[in-house]
Amino acid sequence: MPAGSPFFARIKRDVLAIMASVPPGRLVTFRDIGAHLDVVPRHPAYILATLDPIEAGQVPWHRAVNEAGQLDRPKTDDTGASQRALLEAEGHLIAPDGRILDLAQRLVEVASLPHGIPVQRRPADAPKAPARKRKPAAR
């Protein structure tokens, strides 16, 4: 998905709208966002990881986590506050290793949020992306 493409722009707009609708103290996963938009979880994760400082200050990006509820890489907002600090300020319990201990109680279904984006589904006859060639493993 090229970053300058109309498809990328639509997905980014939708991801930002979904995130703007996640209330304080609640969480969504990249997988659930991806399922709602019919894209791989990597796309919403990439979009949220690469927000510019203005976007990061306007969207609660810190409320999206991986499916395991693990804070994997240090992320900060435009003021330098870490994802961990932002989540703890909203009352989340986070283990020293970065696991969100109250994940199950805090998850919210993307479809239940008031973002106005319908569940996306590709038409059955839509072309599939060509399989990517994998490089042989280095020995």
Residue 130 has a pLDDT of 60
Residue 75's pLDDT band (cuts 50, 70, 90): confident
**What is the pTM for the complete model shown?**
0.82
Q: Which domains does the chain have, with CATH numbers?
A: 6-112 (1.10.10.10)
Residue 28 has a pLDDT of 97
Q: Please provide residue 33's backbone torsions phi and psi, each rounded to the nearest 5 degrees.
A: -65, -45
Question: Helix, strand or coil for residue 29?
Answer: strand
Residue-wise pLDDT for 15-58, tens only, equals 999 999 999 999 999 999 999 999 999 999 999 999 988 888 89
Q: Are 107 and 26 in contact (CB under 8 A)?
A: yes
Residue 129's pLDDT band (cuts 50, 70, 90): low
Residue 134's pLDDT band (cuts 50, 70, 90): low
